[in-house]
Amino acid sequence: MIPSNFEYHAPTSIEAALDLINQYGDDCKILSGGHSLIPVLKLRLAAPAAVIDIGRIPGLSSISLDRDRLRIGALATHASIAASDMLGQLCPLLATTAHQIGDPQVRNRGTLGGSLVHADPAADWPAAILALDASITVRGSAGERHIAANDFFVDMLTSAVQQGEIVTEISVAVPAQPRASSYIKVAQSASGFAVVGVAVQLEIDNGVCVGARIGVTGFAPKPYRASSTENALKGNPITEDLISSAAALADSEAADAMNDIHASGEYRRHLTRVIAARALRAAARV
Amino acid sequence: MSSNGKNEKYVGRPVKRTEDPRLIQGLGHYVDDIRLAGELYVAFLRSPYAHARINSINTDAARNASGVVAIFTGSDIEGRVGNVPTAAALEGLKVPKYPVLALGKVFFVGQPVAAVVATSRYAARDAVDHIEVDFEPLDVVVDAEAAAQGGPVIHHDFGDNIAYVHRAGIGDVDAAFASADKIVAQKMHHQRLAPISLEPRGVLASFLPGEQQLTLWTSTQIPHLLRTQVAIMIGLPENKVRVIAPEVGGGFGSKLNVYAEEALLSFISMQLHKPVKWIETRRENMSATIHGRAQSGVAELALKNDGTILGLRYTVTADLGAYHQLLTPAIPTLTGLMLSGCYKIPAISMVCTGVFTNKMATDAYRGAGRPEATYVVERLMDIAAQELGIDPVELRRKNFPTPDEFPFATATGLFYDSGNYQAALDRALAMVDYDKLREIQKSDTAAGRLVGIGVSTYVEICALGPSAAMPAGGWESATVRIEPTGKVTVMTGASPHGQGQETSFAQITADMLGVDLNDVYVIHGDTGIVQYGIGTFGSRATAVGGTAVVYATEKLISKATKIAAHLLTTDEENVTFENGVFSGAPDDKQVTIQQVALAAHLASNLPPDTEPGLSATYFFEPKNFTFPFGAHICIVEVDRDTGDIRIKRYVAVDDCGKVINPLLVEGQVHGGIAQGLGQALFEEVVYDENGQLITGTLMDYAVPKAHQLPRYELDRTETPTDVNPLGVKGVGEAGTIGSTPAIVNAVIDALRPFGVKHIDMPLRPEKIWRVISNQ
Ligand SMILES: Cc1cc2nc3c(=O)[nH]c(=O)nc-3n(C[C@H](O)[C@H](O)[C@H](O)COP(=O)(O)OP(=O)(O)OC[C@H]3O[C@@H](n4cnc5c(N)ncnc54)[C@H](O)[C@@H]3O)c2cc1C
């Protein structure tokens, strides 16, 4: 629980941060809320030569509306997202998800950007980010690029962000029907992380499902879109029967399930279907 | 109150804890808050293997690392520091030598192998990574029941892994079972638990070479017993060792022990002539602080068709871990003592096999052997009720001793002091409206909902205990002193670490002396100040230590009365003492206790042959244990699709005798239920087949959190005891003991439509789902 020695830098601009990152190469870590990185350092699972705290860079934690897109700074904390009235109205899925992360201390420190880059297979954010088809903005010395949520999660604890890059912003299109959404999770009893979590964003026209995006976290080594379920829903009248049969497909995209002392793969697979059905019912209000 | 009986200004009232203002402001001093000039820090290299031979240890690189002052290994200190002691004396007990640093072999993950001393915590920890140890892994023994049958032997000299076989109980059990109409039997597992005090262990040792004196600050529940043991281990005269337990952030039994680190840091300070500190990390705490429970056995109950119990049999294996800590082998013997529960059982037998495994030692954890007994009995009662078609409440009621049958002799050799089990149960049933509840349950069941009602009626053994039944004395001590200014100092040999006796002992003394509560200051936990004492464990501090306070105060009042009579120029018989004032003088003159105290110190006008000063010490030896009891009722609903358990209501009626401070009692019950619920639903120390600790952090070991706990509906009945003049019984462990079976009984009751008889704890949702879905 005592980390090894590291240099600490707190640059005040993205450019200065990128310079430092280039200088240290592979041997540095970016620090945001520290609620994943600090435990990793304390357990000596990583021992970087330097920690670069981007928390002093101005402008990285704002939440704003830019025409039809919501732009959320990478440093926005879970708590600030949960408390945002604008998000509560225009994209309640984000606020609902933020509410269900950890405890007040974790929500006050942890950030959206940090959580996404850490790519913990049991984290909550990935489900919502997939269900909202978010775009993640990344800055490197070569400039800026945008990564689609679908391409963002590469593997367990691995995202598409390269060493030397900083996530600056996450943006989502304002959903056509903000309230047709939900996030339901089964929390692991010790850590509170998701054993399974399902986020749903729907579009329903006259009782017919015209749009469905479903993100699943916790079940597999990487979060995924439950496309089979989405396809089964789209174009059909939303009924209890449809939800049941569609939710039963929610585990089909993942071949391998996570398996630990808290839940076997078999149980997680079962939970994924049950929770998908519940999340769909909540979003569709049937 | 025996002495004056008139003044109950504080006793019985919800006086706020005088400890809290400093604690909630972060102004308390725990071991880590004590800083000595020039202190050095210790970090341990601990075994990464559950069982291995140490072929070599190379410390050269570590010695040269920056900030490193010294490194000690087992062979460096061999013969210079005594082994970790055990106080348990059982017939035929095998006791392996337990060196403070491993010698030749390691026997569990987390065992200390080398200690690095450096100028900072960071330097010490960094240097640990530079020590090279050549470990040769050996066969690992993880499963206690398998280890009892044969296979690799942990401690070779013993020939097998069986540390002892303990038999308990009285009566002809075989005859009872032979004549029974009905026998129910169930294999049950009490999983290993980690005590998880908020403050982990911590040690600061400072040796003064000139004075040849050692001061040891350590987070302990037993400062005096520890002083004796550490003095022996390091070869210092006991009166040259001062142990201080400063603020202690919880123990739950885990600090009722003598740990390798306590002796080793003392020794290191003596070697280096410097203060040395070690603060346990949470990972160390999970792997190298004692665990609790870890029993597995078959329990059987013999009954008549009408529900009358004839006999009980429990054949159990106790997973002791690799070594004996202070009380390791003794804990299951407490299970044997409590197997009668709160029922009349004419014949009882327990056979317990204590088995060595390659894990951390088990020892006392809140309840210490009694939760296991209560769980066994209360699960059997529910199983029997179901199989006989009798309501579980009726079956319990039928077998209770009536209040006039106390003192009640059990077939485990105990005499329960007092009890009214019917009253506590009736109160709890009334609080939930039991009959109506069963009706509602029927309609819920018909509607496909899985609602369960669980009852547990328990009795526990507290106020440990008469010295004849204890490994190292069961009395407790107190000194009460009135200073020249009239301020009252109480020194207790008990060692409160969260229970709040700074408040409750002040309440007792203030009432007896008729002084303001704020004028009483309670000192504990410092062997340099406080007379020898036993410490805090086994729900004993108030019943035994509080009684010592009462008797010491009585002694002091009797001396003060003598002086008062002299000052009032009358005879002692004429003097009365009320509200802090002595009266009875012919001229109606009065003197206050404060005036008497001043006179006692000025000593110029005392009766002849009177010692100056006003101080009294009392060592109280209890003549029996006390037996608090209660009834817990839990109502749960199980989610059919996920197996998730929701607690809808939790009602507890506890009877701990007379209550000194209801706030403290409630606090103990709340925390107790939380930990009992933790065992029922969440907690489990898991080692894999290689003896690696899987639950090494709080991300995997599920301590219950506030949002996982129900609202508690609490009430009390009050059946006093005559074991002590306060009439108090003890409440530190009651919640933990009563709650676990109530919750498990409720869940099994909810699963009745599936024909379930038993599920082992913790009741993880997946286990429930498997039962429901028949997987
Ligand atoms: C007790 C506890 C309970 C928790 N419970 C939950 C829970 O229920 N659900 C849940 O989802 N999470 C939970 N978390 C995790 C929490 O949400 C973390 O805050 C989050 O995972 C990481 O965010 P952070 O800002 O703290 O990132 P950091 O810890 O600062 O960083 C995490 C990783 O991302 C990198 N990084 C950070 N920011 C950037 C950036 N802008 N660009 C590039 N790389 C970056 C870092 O280098 C590091 O590798 C819990 C954590 C704790 C300690």
> Distance (Å) from the C-alpha of residue A184 to the closest C-alpha of chain B?
13
| CA distances in angstroms from A68 to A171, A175, A176, listed in the order given | 10, 9, 10
Mean pLDDT of B418-426: 98
Q: Are residues B571 and B628 in the same domain?
A: no
Q: Are residues B382 and B504 in the same domain?
A: no
Mean pLDDT of A199-204: 98
Computed from CA positions of residues B247, B253, B256, B261, in that sequence, does the dihedral angle turn out positive or negative?
A: negative
Is the CB of residue B79 less than 8 Å from the CB of residue B67? no
Check pLDDT > 70 for residue B3: no
The band of B355, judged by pLDDT with boundaries at 50, 70 and 90, is very high
- Chain-wide mean pLDDT for chain B? 97
In a domain, B186, yes or no: no
Write out pLDDT tens, residues B183-200: 999 999 999 999 999 999
Check pLDDT > 70 for residue B123: yes
- Chain-wide mean pLDDT for chain A? 97
**What is the residue extent of each domain of chain A?**
7-53, 63-173, 180-284
C-alpha A119/C-alpha A97 separation (Å) is 16
In a domain, B180, yes or no: no
What spacing in Å lies between the alpha carbon of A33 and ligand 1's midpoint? 6
* Parallel/antiparallel/unpaired status of strands B347-356 and B309-321: parallel
Residue of B45, B119, B641 for testing the chain A interface, max A β-carbons within 10 Å? B641
Write out pLDDT tens, residues A10-56: 999 999 999 999 999 999 999 999 999 999 999 999 999 999 999 99
Q: Are residues B576 and B440 in the same domain?
A: no
C-alpha B643/C-alpha B639 separation (Å) is 5
What pLDDT, on the 0 to 100 scale, is given for residue B2?
Answer: 36
Computed from CA positions of residues B152, B155, B159, B165, in that sequence, does the dihedral angle turn out positive or negative?
A: negative
C-alpha B374/C-alpha B384 separation (Å) is 15
Residue of B32, B126, B639 for testing the chain A interface, max A β-carbons within 10 Å? B126
B window 668-687, beta carbon within 8 A of A: 681-682, 684, 686
What spacing in Å lies between the alpha carbon of B731 and ligand 1's midpoint? 42
Mean pLDDT of A107-113: 98
The band of B472, judged by pLDDT with boundaries at 50, 70 and 90, is confident
Q: Which atom of ligand 1 is nearest to the CA of A37?
A: 29
Q: Are residues B387 and B500 in the same domain?
A: no
Q: Do A267 and B769 touch (CB under 8 A)?
A: yes
Q: Cβ neighbours of residue A272 under 8 Å, at least 6 residues apart?
A: A196, A198, A216, A219, A250, A251
Query: Pocket of ligand 1, candidates A20, A28, A37, A141: which has the most ligand atoms within 8 Å of its Cβ, to mutate?
Result: A37
The answer, yes or no, to whether any atom of ligand 1 lies below 6 A from the CB of A55, is no
Which residues does chain A have within 8 Å of residue B48's beta carbon, measured at their own beta carbons? Answer: none
C-alpha B312/C-alpha B123 separation (Å) is 57
Torsion of CA B190, B193, B195, B198, to 10 degrees: -140
Write out pLDDT tens, residues B518-558: 999 999 999 999 999 999 999 999 999 999 999 999 999 99
Q: Are residues B74 and B216 in the same domain?
A: yes
Which residues does chain A have within 8 Å of residue B775's beta carbon, measured at their own beta carbons? Answer: 266
Mean pLDDT of A105-132: 98
Q: Where are any strands of DSSP class E within B533-620?
A: 576-578, 581-583, 591-592, 615-620
Q: For B700, which residue in chain A has the nearest alpha carbon?
A: A190
> Distance (Å) from the C-alpha of residue B288 to the closest C-alpha of chain A?
15
Of A4, A186, A192, the CB nearest to B642: A186
The answer, yes or no, to whether any atom of ligand 1 lies below 6 A from the CB of A21, is no
Q: Which atom of ligand 1 is nearest to the CA of A192?
A: 8
Structure tokens at A42: 């304390």
In a domain, B357, yes or no: no
Decide if B705 touches A, using CB distance below 8 A.
yes
> Distance (Å) from the C-alpha of residue B323 to the closest C-alpha of chain A?
26
Q: Do A263 and B766 touch (CB under 8 A)?
A: yes
Which residues does chain A have within 8 Å of residue B122's beta carbon, measured at their own beta carbons? Answer: 2, 4-5
Is the CB of residue B389 less than 8 Å from the CB of residue B310? no
| Residue minimizing CA distance to atom 51 of ligand 1 | A35
The band of A234, judged by pLDDT with boundaries at 50, 70 and 90, is very high
Q: In this structure, which topology does domain A180-284 adopt according to CATH? A: Enolase-like; domain 1 (3.30.390)
| CA distances in angstroms from B137 to A13, B55, B106, B112, B153, listed in the order given | 52, 10, 9, 16, 14
Count H helices, E strands: chain A? Answer: 12, 14
Which residue from B682, B613, B640, B637 is spatially nearest to B769, judged by alpha carbons?
A: B640
Alpha helices in A46-131 (DSSP H): 78-83, 85-90, 92-99, 104-109, 112-118, 125-131
Q: Are residues B640 and B581 in the same domain?
A: no
Write out pLDDT tens, residues B266-321: 999 999 999 999 999 999 999 999 999 999 999 999 999 999 999 999 999 999 99
What is the helix (H) or strand (E) element at residue B282, kind and residue range?
A: helix B282-288
Number of structural domains found in chain B:
3
Computed from CA positions of residues A225, A231, A236, A240, in that sequence, does the dihedral angle turn out positive or negative?
A: negative
In a domain, B707, yes or no: yes
| Residue minimizing CA distance to atom 27 of ligand 1 | A114
pTM of the model: 0.97
Check pLDDT > 80 for residue B5: no
> Distance (Å) from the C-alpha of residue B706 to the closest C-alpha of chain A?
11
Mean pLDDT of A125-142: 97
Mean pLDDT of B440-453: 97
Check pLDDT > 60 for residue B1: no
Q: Do B766 and A190 touch (CB under 8 A)?
A: no
Decide yes or no: CATH 3.30.43.10 for domain A7-53.
yes
Q: For A271, which residue in chain B has the nearest alpha carbon?
A: B642
Pick from B620, B646, B681: which residue ends a domain?
B620
Q: For A272, which residue in chain B has the nearest alpha carbon?
A: B642
Pick from B601, B620, B639: which residue ends a domain?
B620
What spacing in Å lies between the alpha carbon of A193 and ligand 1's midpoint? 12
Percent of chain B with pLDDT over 90: 97
What pLDDT, on the 0 to 100 scale, is given for residue B88?
Answer: 83
Q: Are residues B571 and B599 in the same domain?
A: yes
Of A4, A261, A264, the CB nearest to B694: A261
Range of the domain at B43: 34-138+198-250+255-288
The answer, yes or no, to whether any atom of ligand 1 lies below 6 A from the CB of A185, is no
Q: In this structure, which topology does domain A63-173 adopt according to CATH? A: 3.30.465
Q: For B706, which residue in chain A has the nearest alpha carbon?
A: A103
Taken as a whole, chain A contains a residue count of 286
Check pLDDT > 70 for residue B110: yes
Q: Are residues B642 and B544 in the same domain?
A: no
> Distance (Å) from the C-alpha of residue B633 to the closest C-alpha of chain A?
23
Write out pLDDT tens, residues B548-564: 999 999 999 999 999 99
What pLDDT, on the 0 to 100 scale, is given for residue B6?
Answer: 54
What spacing in Å lies between the alpha carbon of A152 and ligand 1's midpoint? 16
User: Would you call the peptide bond into B765 cis, given omega within 30 degrees of 0 as the criterion?
Assistant: no
Q: Is the ipTM of this complex over 0.90?
A: yes
Mean pLDDT of A232-237: 98
Structure tokens at B362: 């088990």
B711 C-beta neighbours (distance < 10 Å), count? 8
